[in-house]
Amino acid sequence: MAAIRTAEEYKDQLRALLPQGPAWDPEQVPEIDLVLTGVAQEFARIDTRAFDLLNEMAADGVNELVPDWEAVMNLPDPCLGASPAFEDRRLAVRRRLVAVGGQSISFFIELAVAQGYPQASVTEHRAPRFGRSRFGKAHFGTWSAQFMWTLNSGPRRRLGRRFGASFWGERFGANPSGALECVIRRSAPAHTLEFINYGESD
């Protein structure tokens, strides 16, 4: 990608394109230099904004056009709450573009890790079946247990809002768990019943 030209570079280009003759000599007609300076500054501004637009066309560089990306991606994500931080909204745009769904244990662990639970694990509950269940074992569970599973969150990484890295209106020290519950339950298979066990892992 071409480099952004400065106002001085544009001014040199415009000066080189001037016709020959004393009427266009900046030393004899200082007004010419003032005009070139003003035009060059505008060209440099347009060049910079065009470069910004190219960055906004890709989700990994979006900043000013976050609302436009959200409009076509069914965002903001309701799991982010009523008033999500701008950085969370921008990250949601990037994730929505590259996200791939799944129903595996690893998929749900990855969702938990993304929410700040690096030691998350999943426990699958099994219904009693001939050949699997044994006398003396603790509670077998019911037949419906085969559709149940538990996400053990494990300890949460400290991701609270910090001075200098947060936004006006955000509460310091807040690490809500609602987002984890929202993304897990939204992605869980419809025929299953999921539970979230906070603070523990297998």
Domain segments of the chain as ranges: 7-57, 104-161+176-202
The kind and range of the H/E element at 122 are: strand 121-124
Angle (CA) 53 54 57, round 5°: 85
Crossing angle for the helix pair 105-114 and 178-187, to the nearest 10 degrees: 150
Mean pLDDT across the stretch 123-147? 64
The chain-wide mean pLDDT, for the chain, equals: 81
Measure the CA–CA gap between 137 and 23, rounded to whole angstroms: 102
How much is the pLDDT for 97? 85
Residues of the chain with pLDDT > 90: what percent?
A: 30
pLDDT at 101: 84
State how far the Cα of 39 lies from the Cα of 42, in Å rounded to an integer.
5
59-73 per-position pLDDT tens digit: 888 889 999 999 988
pLDDT at position 117 over 50? yes
- What confidence tens digit (pLDDT) does each residue in 136-153 have? 454 555 666 778 899 999
